[in-house]
Amino acid sequence: MTPKPRILVTRLLPAAVMERLNRDYDVIDNADDAQLSQEEILQRAEAADGILCGPTNLFDRALIEKLPDTVKVLTTFSVGYDHLDVSAAQEKGIALGNTPDVLTDATADIALLCLLGAARMAHSSAMTLRNGEWTQWSSTQFLGVHVTGKKLGILGMGRIGQAVARRAKGFDMEIHYHNRRPVNARGLEDAIYHDSADSLFKVSEFLSINCGLTKETRYAVNDETIALMPDGAVIVNTARGPIVEDAALIRALTSGKVAAAGLDVFENEPVLNPDYLQLDNLFVLPHIGSATVETRDAMGFKCLDNLDAFFKGEPIPNPITA
């Protein structure tokens, strides 16, 4: 009987995903869901044929070059792959896969939650109530930013950006976007394209960040670009934390240049900059964009589809190619 391929799984995955993994593969698991160091990954990968990693595992060039030659495939439990050195993997002959499409709606839902939660002071008002500090209704308390009819700038008009735009149109928001090229998307024919991020920032009363993290987009939101935005703007980030320079956003939230921010991601996750905790105009979540049972299962199954195809000698259905 042909032995099952041996797969290192660096994070604990949903039960249904682990069940299928254990059925079809010889699994080196991480039942405690500990954040493995690169040294621990190398030790566990010693006899592995493939790796299923999470977005918190950094596979940089140094680690990839040290992986045993038996490792021929690496699939990540994420759409983004900024934690993988693609060039190093390709040079070593390791096939790469990810999980596109299945988390679009869940992440777009969270973007709208962050947008509304920030604009309408959801955190500070709820905490006032929970702490027993709300004693009477007042016409001047918890005054947020009106959403309906405002200009929404979308930085990155891929699948998730388009899903955010469609949801925002339900609030009669005027959609503006910057992307590498204009898009022709159903229901977004009237969206206004900006050929530069600076042009987008200048009109964005609300800004939703939905681009990938690259050398070009790291700290795309900083003191200079925030200064371009209308006073009292609202910034939402559900993409990758380092696209926003936290220190710059904190300064803008403190000064009032930015009225509020809604973040599902931030720099140095899971450690939140403590200066954020002093702000009442921040709505922040612990990176839950894809956190529904259906979505996380679907992401895991995409990873397994990648592994299944690879070990059958077929093309990976969800490849990372660049």
Average pLDDT over residues 62-78: 98
Residue 195 CA to its chain's centroid (Å) = 24
- What's residue 321's pLDDT? 87
Q: What phi and psi values does residue 212 have, to the nearest 5 degrees?
A: -80, 165
Task: Check residues 2 and 97 and name the one with the higher pLDDT.
Answer: 97
pLDDT at 292 over 90: yes
Q: Residues 26-69: pLDDT tens digits? A: 999 999 999 999 999 999 999 899 999 999 999 999 999 999 99
Average pLDDT over residues 156-172: 98
pLDDT at 225 over 90: yes
Q: Average per-residue pLDDT in the chain? A: 97
pLDDT band at residue 202 under the 50/70/90 scheme: very high
User: Is the separation of the CB atoms in 174 and 205 below 8 Å?
Assistant: no
pTM of the model: 0.93
CA distance 112 to 297: 22
pLDDT band at residue 2 under the 50/70/90 scheme: confident
- Quick count: other Cβ atoms within 10 Å of Cβ 157? 25
Q: Residues 227-250: pLDDT tens digits? A: 999 999 999 999 999 999 999 999
First to last CA, the chain: 37
| Fold held by 104-284 | Rossmann fold (3.40.50)
pLDDT band at residue 112 under the 50/70/90 scheme: very high
Task: Identify which of 293, 286, 241, 245 has the alpha carbon closest to the alpha carbon of residue 267.
Answer: 241
Average pLDDT over residues 287-300: 98
pLDDT at 322 over 80: no
Q: Residues 276-290: pLDDT tens digits? A: 999 999 999 999 999
- What's residue 267's pLDDT? 97
Count of residues making up the chain: 322
SS3 279: coil
Task: Check residues 28 and 322 and name the one with the higher pLDDT.
Answer: 28
Active site residue 133: no
| Fold held by 6-102+293-311 | Rossmann fold (3.40.50)
CA distance 162 to 155: 10
How, if at all, do strands 233-237 and 206-209 pair?
parallel
Counts for the chain of helices (H) and strands (E), in that order: 11, 12
- What's residue 83's pLDDT? 96
- The single residue of 120, 240, 267, 296 carrying the catalytic annotation is 240
- What's residue 5's pLDDT? 98
- What's residue 281's pLDDT? 97
Task: Identify which of 79, 25, 16 has the alpha carbon closest to the alpha carbon of residue 48.
Answer: 25
- The single residue of 176, 178, 287, 296 carrying the catalytic annotation is 287
- What's residue 89's pLDDT? 98
- What's residue 279's pLDDT? 97
Active site residue 287: yes
CA distance 151 to 17: 41
Please determine whether the domains at 6-102+293-311 and 104-284 fall in the same fold group of CATH. Answer: yes
Active site residue 146: no
Q: What are the residue boundaries of the structural domains of the chain, listed by start?
A: 6-102+293-311, 104-284
